[in-house]
Amino acid sequence: MPIFYTLPPWRIKYPYILINNRNPEQGLKYLINYGHWRHTKKIIIDTGIEIFRDKEIKDYPGGYKHHTRRQVLLYEKIRKIARYAEVYVTIPDYPDDYHPKNLWISREYTNIERTIDSVFYAITNYPNINWLIPVQGWNHRPKSVIHSLQLLYRRDFPFERYNYYAIANLCVEQKCDIIVRTVEYAYNWFKDVLGYIPRIHLFGPKLRCVRKIVDKIYSWDSMAWTRPVEHGLHKKYPWSAKNEEQRELFFMKYLEHIYKSVIGNDYGYT
């Protein structure tokens, strides 16, 4: 059963936490309250890639090397709080789905190649971090994830050392067939080339699409529960959550929807 990562409402204990480096204070506050308990099982530190929604932004502040260091510092801070949790750190990557080709340097050095360089910088300079390896692609081109994986392979990436890979080019993708085909391409590449399937994570897929690939992914993340469109509350609440009571209501309904409609099991999490 895939794991769903998110940052839940303040008063709800939840075991799989997503913390965004763009604005980590809320996540750190949550962990200070709950993270020292064994109940917190796994944490993913996201890079804050939403900065690239602004078309004028072409790189992380200070570049990917500086941002990698910021990721490591946040990881070290979180490890002191959540001593019992598995903590995974996303390597800074460069998306193509917000503004296609906006982060390409040239036709030969696209967002994929930029991400690959970031990956090798992170694993070379910080080899003891539990890295979540981003697999980038080109917008609306599912097969491009194979190009990304082959570049890692050709540069002798140590696949045996890292077992968690994030399909990172689908955050704003609306078409389920593109999401499904992208995941299938990555899944089959791992199976055919490596001979096994590592953990596969999806960044921010649409919930209606997740149900189509639950047998091929290990986890996914989303903060979409704050908008009740996909879980039956949008007629009564045609807006995003406005207060803590609504946040809690929307969150619990979202979990219920996941486990009844997507996963196919009774409501609950393990």
Q: Which of 222, 237, 255 is the last residue of a domain?
A: 222
Q: Which residues pair with 45 in a beta bridge?
A: 19, 89
pLDDT at 241 over 60: yes
pLDDT tens by residue, 160-201:
999 999 998 888 888 999 999 999 999 999 999 999 999 999
Do both 167 and 205 map to the same domain? yes
Do both 215 and 257 map to the same domain? no
Number of domains in the chain: 2
Residue located via tokens 């704050």: 226
pLDDT at residue 268 in the model = 44
Is 138:112 a contact under the CB 8 Å cutoff? yes
Do both 156 and 245 map to the same domain? no
Q: What is the CATH number of the domain that holds 93?
A: 3.20.20
Q: What percent of the chain has a predicted confidence (pLDDT) above 90? A: 75
In three-state form (DSSP H/G/I as H, E/B as E, the rest C), the secondary structure along 60-111 is: CCCHHHHHHHHHHHHHHHHHHHCCCCEEEEECCCCCCCCCCCCCCCCCCCCH
Range of the domain at 254: 228-270
Q: Kindly give the pairing relationship between strand 3-5 and strand 16-20.
A: unpaired
pLDDT tens by residue, 14-44:
999 999 999 999 999 999 988 777 889 999 9
pLDDT tens by residue, 139-156:
999 999 999 999 999 999
Is 214:262 a contact under the CB 8 Å cutoff? yes
pLDDT at residue 1 in the model = 78
Answer yes or no: pTM beyond 0.85: yes
Do both 246 and 175 map to the same domain? no
